[in-house]
Structure 1
């Protein structure tokens, strides 16, 4: 009986969510805002291309303890994002997109210009929060602005553009660091690249120049964030974009009951199981490849940039996957395909002299598979709740991510990464969580919701 009631609640929620999706005509203002956000998100791609890769290596040099507990600080950032998302329903998208980059720019400059560990730690939290908020804004905006027929394609477009720019910055980021380092040392690029493969062998003066080279690239991230701030002024929004209209006679009380529906809860469980795997391995990609597989820093940038391109390819295939397999099955199958790749990553040293080529191929496939269904996820989950509840739902997911981030951060800092073998063990643990997540998704969602997006699109016609 309770399950029937919950199903009815969700059906009502889905119906409410469809009210603003029935028009196939794309409003000019809506379309303008969508493409302005493509520009903004492209600039954020340049920022995250630096902060998620090059800056992590920089922090590993200046504040190594922060890096070992990086998931804790990212979790704190997620809590900040969750608070900001709650206010989207009241203040709108534009004000959030004007506020976040101001603090992020200040934090980036502080990270580059100070030697104080505490300031760098706090700045890192602000930087991550300032960049992460953009990942949550486009699903909210596009669910309101884009007709259902084009929505998954637009989700793919904005994510592809972001990743292409991110890939470019990752590719050149490490190389720019090595180039600046070579100028500081008055040596050739090849000599500087060779030195960068093992920081433990650097003298104090050489390490100082290497660190200063990293500081220059962090300042470049601040420049890109400033441009994203300026681009946000191009957005033209109205209150009806981010909140449902209420009768003049009174204010409609927001009903949070749909957020407790069993399908919403199980969806969050699925997301968090995969999130655990992501947090265990993704933040440590540069460190694992550079320090433990002993791949040169410039080569690491190339490998990571190639796997970022794989993400773009995956995003591009999202509409096709949704059409062929459905929203649920595509997510589950693709998650399962990542498992053998995780196991190969854990044993990267077996490839010997071919390690660079082998790891590059594995990274490319793993990244393409892991991200192929992200546009589908972002579009699907926004249809589980009404417009007014979408920011709250995003906030709930962010809070769940933060809690998981804190737990994983404590685990990595005080247990897993106490020994160097933990960097490889993380891939085994990730594989196990991926398996559980994909099975849960198939069992709970397939029968009722695998084709829910397709059915909604047909109903609009």
Structure 2
């Protein structure tokens, strides 16, 4: 019987990982090709992109609250449909307002798939004898392989489609993308057409995520605790109990940490290629390659997550990687000062920063789920993302209305983010040090 439970749990985890890989293909295009496309046809969306991320986080958090009622499978199905539809709308629509809707739909799809990862993986790994950190790590690094492929191939195919539409060589088209702001006439139209063709292709691919989702065999016990002998609580008692649990000291500290990280991320993560292309004048293919290589760093560094957790503990791993990524963020911001060495220096800094900052991803998921009980994990995850959504909207308004009014703001964003990352690293290392277990099987439960 236990073998059957293990087989079903592993199958469901594998199916989720496949769908997550496809979702990350869409996400890689979203934060590269899509943002650059919006920079041309709807600039207010591009400069305040993180605000849309915040709105999408609100929606995702609200939808996540439905897990105890409808389970994970139906929500994952919604993710694929929402994201694919958004890409099609962006390609075929001529109405400005629909670009706002498409952006919100796409970000909701990819973000919802991301935030459901922690409670979903936790729900099935606790049924297995396997180390939970390993399943988190597998999910994350396979997802980042999707990011890598989408980011690099997205940039490559945009230039390829551009060259075919404009009737010029690939090399010439690539050089043209160093100064997109100077493009005019037919050349500019062909560049936009190249972007639309790539968005159309990724929309079709995103629909394929429905296949593994349909193969998930979900039972009610996977997403809600079933105990017939448990005393039934009134709705008011559940609210009181949940509030007491969710607003304990440890929960607040983790939320503060995640809010700081969310604000800082909003200053630069959605604008990598904009900064590289428009501030450092690196061509589209090379800038996309640099970003995609940084995703390889994430995959490589995450292979060492179990080792880091064993040596430093979960919280120690989070704090260490966040703080050590700060110097490389400063180097990226200073990229224009390295002259002919700009590409290698910035490329190495991007590589190491991405690897360090994301090595702790599985540990973050594990710690956040250790703070609350199984029944409240979806609610707690929703709360974290709801509050992070508020911060993301503030971050997006800050960039759209102040920081990015001048192109130099894309450089200053890295310096501001470095300061905030430093604060966040100190907050979690000091505030949650009691969760710094080296064995993730020893889940710590805060008394309520």
TM-score range, shorter chain: over 0.9
| Number of the residue aligned with 1:138 | 117
1:178-257 maps to which residues of 2 (within 5 A)? Answer: 178-247=159-228, 251-253=232-234, 254=238, 255-256=241-242, 257=244
Deviations 1:199-254 (A, max 9, x none): 12211221111101100111112112210022211000100000011427864453
| Structure 1: 4+ residue segments shifted above 3 A | 23-26, 248-254, 452-455
- Counterpart check, 1:332 vs 2:319: yes
What is the deviation of 1:310?
A: 0.7
Task: Kindly indicate whether residue 428 of structure 2 is the aligned counterpart of residue 449 of structure 1.
Answer: no
Unaligned runs of 5+ in 1: 1-22
* Total equivalences in the alignment: 436
Q: 3-state DSSP class of the match of 1:415?
A: helix
SS at match of 2:267: helix
Whether contact under 8 Å (1:51, 1:221) holds in the other structure is no
Q: Which residue of 2 aligns with 1:166?
A: 147
**Does structure 2 retain, via aligned residues, the 8 Å contact 1:380–1:453?**
no
Cα RMSD of the aligned pairs, angstroms, is 1.9
Query: Per-residue CA shift, 1:382-412, capped at 9, x if unaligned?
Result: 1211111011111101111110011111111
- One of 60, 76, 79 as aligned partner of 1:81: 60
CA distance in 2 between counterparts of 1:452 and 1:199 reads 49
Alignment match of 1:50 (pick from 29, 39, 48) = 29
- Tell whether 2:411 aligns with 1:432: no
Residues 85 and 455 (structure 1 numbering): CA distance in 2 closer, same or farther, change over 3 Å?
Answer: closer
> Partner of 1:271: helix, strand, or coil?
helix
Worse-superposed segment, 251-260 or 362-371: 251-260
The alignment's TM-score, normalised by the length of structure 2, stands at 0.94
Task: For residues 120-166 of structure 1, give each alpha carbon's deviation from its aligned partner in whole angstroms, at most 9, with x where no partner exists.
Answer: 11111010001111112221121111137421111111111111122
Partner Cα separation in structure 1 for residue 286 and residue 315 of structure 2: 37
Would you say the 8 A contact 2:166–2:186 is kept in 1?
Answer: no
CA–CA distance in 1 between the matches of 2:247 and 2:375? Answer: 15
Cα 1:118–1:72, aligned 2, differ >3 Å: closer, same or farther?
same
Counterpart pick for 2:266 among 279, 296, 305: 279
How far apart are the structure 2 equivalents of 1:24 and 1:355?
55
Listed as ranges, the matches of 1:27-106 within 5 Å are: 27-106=6-85
- Report deviation, 1:442: 2.1
How far is the alpha carbon of 1:445 from its aligned partner? 1.7
Matches of 2:79 and 2:329 in 1, distance apart?
Answer: 35
Retained in 2: the 8 A contact 1:246–1:252?
A: no
- TM-score w.r.t. length of structure 1: 0.91
Contact kept in structure 2, 1:102 and 1:226, CA below 8 Å: yes
Query: Against the structure 1 CA distance between its residues 312 and 294, is the aligned structure 2 distance closer, same or farther, given a 3 Å change threshold?
Result: same
> Does the CA contact (< 8 Å) of 2:312 and 2:438 recur in 1?
no
- Equivalent residue number for residue 5 of structure 1: none
Distance 2:187 2:159 in 1: 12
Unaligned stretches of 5+ in structure 2? none
In 1, distance between residues paired with 2:54 and 2:430?
Answer: 29
Q: Which of 399, 407, 427 pairs up with 2:386?
A: 399
Contact 1:337 1:369 in 2 (8 A): yes
- The separation in 2 between residues aligned to 1:454 and 1:403, in whole angstroms, is 30
Separation of aligned partners in 2, 1:148 and 1:288: 45
* Equivalent-residue separation in structure 1 for 2:330 and 2:24 (angstroms): 29
